[in-house]
Amino acid sequence: MVGAAEEVHLNRLESQVENGGGGAWEYLCLARKLKVRRSDKVLKFGLPILNDPRARSKLGGEEWTLYEQVAIAAMDCQQIDIAKDCITTLLKRFPGSTRVGRLNGMLSEAKGEFAEAERVYEQILEKNPLDQAIQKRKVAMAKARGDLSAAVELLNKYLEIFMADYDAWRELAEIYVSQQMYKQAAFCYEELILFQPTVPLYHLAYAEVLYTMGGLENLQTAKKYYASTIDLTGGQNTRALYGVCMCAFAISQLAKGRSKEQESADLQSLAAEALLKEYKQRAPDKVAILTATLRGMKLIS
C-alpha cells in the first residue's frame, strides 16, 4: 500500500516531468519501487529513454529493468507492437529466462491468445512448479476469460501452498462475494484479519459479508466488526457507523423485545450521534433525512 507521503512525491515528480522539468528516470524508479503501474505515464516517460541510445547507455544494468517496465506498461495500454519490441530485445539478451518468458506469456494474453499463454506458463511451471508469479498469471487469465470457477479453483490450490499471501486471500474473497458465496468469503476475510488485524478494510468487508448473510448471530458479530472498524479509523468511517446502526435495527427486529445489554445500546447511540455530527459538517442539506431515518429505526429520540 502506497503511503500518503510517497504518493505526494510521485505526483510531484509526475507533474515535474510533464512540465519539462526533468526527473523521468527518478519517476520511473519510484513507480517501480512503490509497485504503482500508472502505465500511460510509464510508457510516455520511459519510451523516449529507450529510444535514445545515449540516455539508455547511462542506465547500465537498469536498462533491462526499464525494458521490462515499459513492456508491461505497453501491454496495459494495448500498445502491442511496443511491448513486442521490448520483449524481443529482452529475449535476445536473456534467452531461456523465466522472467522474460513470463512477459512473453503476458503478451499472448494481451493479444487474446490464451491458449498460447497457457502453453508458455505450463512450460515455465514444469521447470519450477512453485513459481508464484506464473500461478497468479493463470488466475488473472481465468478471470479475463470470465471463468470465475476456474479462478477460484486455481486460487484455492495456490493458497494451499502460499497460505500467507494476503493479496490472494483478498482476491478470492472478492470473487466469492461477486458469486454470492458469502460463507466462503467470510472465511477468507477471517484469514485476512488474522494476518493483518489492524487493517480496517478487512474488518469492514467481513462485517458487510456477515450483515448480508443475516441471522441474529451473524448480525451481532457484524456489529462488533463494524465497531472495530470505527475504532481502527478513529471514528472516521461512515460506512461502519451506518453498519452499526443497521445491525442494531435488524437485531432489534429479530430479538422482538428481548433485553439489550447497556454497552450495545450505548454503541448504537454513539454511532447515530457521530453520523449526525458528520452530516451536519459535510452534508447539512441531508441532515433532516438522516434524522428521520434514525428516528424510524428508534436509534435517536
What's the mean pLDDT in 97-107? 95
124: number of Cβ within 10 Å = 20
Q: Count CA atoms within 13 Å of residue 155 on its CB side.
A: 26
The pairs formed by 20-23 with CB atoms below 8 angstroms and a separation of 24 or more are: none
Torsion of CA 202, 204, 206, 207, to 10 degrees: 160
Task: Identify the burial level of 238 via C-beta atoms within 10 angstroms of its C-beta, where 0-12 means exposed, 13-18 middle and 19 or more buried.
Answer: middle
Is residue 156 within 8 A of residue 188, CB to CB? The reply is no
Q: Which three cell numbers stand for residue 254?
A: 429479530
| pLDDT score, position 205 | 98
| pLDDT score, position 263 | 46
| pLDDT score, position 111 | 94
| pLDDT score, position 295 | 86
> Does position 68 have pLDDT exceeding 90, yes or no?
yes
Q: What is the DSSP string of 49-103?
A: HHT-HHHHHTTTTHHHHHHHHHHHHHHHTT-HHHHHHHHHHHHHHSTT-HHHHHH
Task: Identify the burial level of 55 via C-beta atoms within 10 angstroms of its C-beta, where 0-12 means exposed, 13-18 middle and 19 or more buried.
Answer: middle
The pTM of the full predicted model, rounded to 2 decimals, is 0.82
| pLDDT score, position 252 | 86
What's the mean pLDDT in 136-147? 94
Compute the mean pLDDT over every residue in the chain, rounded to the nearest whole number.
92
d(CA 203, CA 212): 14
- Cα distances from 39 to residues 44, 53, 73, 79, 186, in angstroms, run 8, 22, 4, 11, 33
**Mind listing the pLDDT tens digit for each residue in 210-251?**
999 999 999 999 999 999 999 999 988 999 999 999 999 999
Is residue 50 within 8 A of residue 67, CB to CB? The reply is yes
| pLDDT score, position 262 | 46
d(CA 198, CA 211): 21
Binned at pLDDT 50, 70 and 90, residue 1 comes out as: low
| pLDDT score, position 159 | 97
**Mind listing the pLDDT tens digit for each residue in 15-57?**
999 999 999 999 999 999 998 989 999 999 999 999 999 999 9
> Does position 161 have pLDDT exceeding 90, yes or no?
yes
What's the mean pLDDT in 106-124? 94
Binned at pLDDT 50, 70 and 90, residue 268 comes out as: confident
| pLDDT score, position 259 | 47
Is residue 275 within 8 A of residue 242, CB to CB? The reply is yes
Binned at pLDDT 50, 70 and 90, residue 273 comes out as: confident
Question: Which among 163, 236, 247, 248 has a CA at the least distance from the CA of 200?
Answer: 236
